[in-house]
Amino acid sequence: MSEHLPSPSVWPCTVAGGFTLLAFGILSSLALSLLGLLLMVVGLAGWIRELRHG
Protein backbone atom coordinates (compact mmCIF):
# COMPACT_ATOMS: atom_id res chain seq x y z
CA MET A 1 0.00 0.00 0.00
CA SER A 2 1.28 3.44 -0.93
CA GLU A 3 2.40 5.59 1.98
CA HIS A 4 1.40 8.80 0.24
CA LEU A 5 -1.97 10.40 -0.06
CA PRO A 6 -2.58 12.32 -3.28
CA SER A 7 -2.63 16.07 -2.78
CA PRO A 8 -5.73 18.09 -3.64
CA SER A 9 -5.64 19.41 -7.17
CA VAL A 10 -7.55 22.02 -9.12
CA TRP A 11 -6.53 20.54 -12.48
CA PRO A 12 -9.09 17.73 -12.85
CA CYS A 13 -11.90 20.26 -12.44
CA THR A 14 -10.12 22.66 -14.81
CA VAL A 15 -9.68 20.06 -17.54
CA ALA A 16 -13.27 18.87 -17.15
CA GLY A 17 -14.46 22.47 -17.37
CA GLY A 18 -12.37 23.01 -20.49
CA PHE A 19 -13.69 19.83 -22.08
CA THR A 20 -17.25 20.90 -21.28
CA LEU A 21 -16.76 24.33 -22.85
CA LEU A 22 -15.15 22.71 -25.87
CA ALA A 23 -18.22 20.51 -26.34
CA PHE A 24 -20.74 23.19 -25.38
CA GLY A 25 -19.20 25.45 -28.00
CA ILE A 26 -20.67 23.10 -30.61
CA LEU A 27 -24.10 24.22 -29.46
CA SER A 28 -23.28 27.88 -29.04
CA SER A 29 -20.15 29.48 -30.47
CA LEU A 30 -16.71 28.60 -31.72
CA ALA A 31 -15.20 31.14 -29.30
CA LEU A 32 -16.44 29.07 -26.37
CA SER A 33 -14.86 25.97 -27.87
CA LEU A 34 -11.55 27.76 -28.27
CA LEU A 35 -11.71 28.98 -24.68
CA GLY A 36 -12.42 25.42 -23.61
CA LEU A 37 -9.47 24.14 -25.61
CA LEU A 38 -7.22 26.71 -23.97
CA LEU A 39 -8.50 25.75 -20.53
CA MET A 40 -7.86 22.09 -21.31
CA VAL A 41 -4.31 22.75 -22.41
CA VAL A 42 -3.60 24.80 -19.28
CA GLY A 43 -5.24 22.17 -17.10
CA LEU A 44 -3.36 19.28 -18.67
CA ALA A 45 -0.08 21.16 -18.32
CA GLY A 46 -0.78 21.73 -14.64
CA TRP A 47 -1.84 18.11 -14.21
CA ILE A 48 1.37 16.82 -15.80
CA ARG A 49 3.45 19.23 -13.71
CA GLU A 50 1.82 17.87 -10.55
CA LEU A 51 2.44 14.30 -11.65
CA ARG A 52 6.12 15.09 -12.16
CA HIS A 53 6.47 16.61 -8.73
CA GLY A 54 4.11 14.19 -6.99
Partner 1 sequence: MTTLAPPIPAPAVEPLRPTGLLRWATTVDHKDIGILYLLTSCGFFGLGGLEALLIRIQLAVPRNTFLDPAAYDAVFTMHGTTMIFLVVMPILLGFANYIMPLQIGARDMAFPKLNAFSYWLFLFGGLVLYFSFLNGSPPDTGWFSYAPLSEKPFSMESTVDYWAVGLLLTSAGTIATGLNLLVTGVTLRAPAMGWFRMPVFTWMSLITGWLVLAAIPSLTAAQAMVLIDRYLGAHFFDVSHGGDPVLWQHLFWYFGHPEVYIMALPAFGIISEVIPVFSRKPIFGYGVVVASGLAIAFLSVTVWAHHMFTVGLGDVADAVFGLSSMAIAVPTGVKVFSWLATLWGGRIHLTVAMLYALAFLVQFTIGGLSGVHFATVPVDWHTHDTYYTVAHFHYVLGGGSLFAILAGTYYWFPKITGRLLDERWGRRAFWLMVVGFNLTFFPMHILGLMGQPRRTYTYPDLPGWGQLNFAESIGAFLMGVGVLVLVWDLMRSLRHGVPAGDNPWRAWTLEWATSSPPPAMNFVALPPITSPRPLYRPAEGDVAEVAEAPRDPSRHWRAPIVGILAFIFSEATFFGALIVAFLEYRTRSPGPGPHELDVPRTFIFSLFLFASSGTVYLAERQLARDNRRGFSIWWMASIVLGAIFLIGQLTEYARLYADGITIGSNLFTSAFFTLTGFHGLHVFIGLVALAVIGGLAAAGDFVGGRRRVAVDVVSIYWHFVDGVWVIIFSLVYLWGLVA
List residues near partner 1 by CB under 8 A. 1-13, 15-17, 19-20, 23-24, 26-27, 47-48, 50, 52
**9 vs 42, beta carbon nearer partner 1:** 9
Closest approach of partner 1 to the CB of residue 2, in Å: 6
**13 vs 31, beta carbon nearer partner 1:** 13
Per-position DSSP letters for 1-54, written without gaps between them: --S-PPPP-SHHHHHHHHHHHHHHHHHS-HHHHHHHHHHHHHHHHHHHHHHHH-
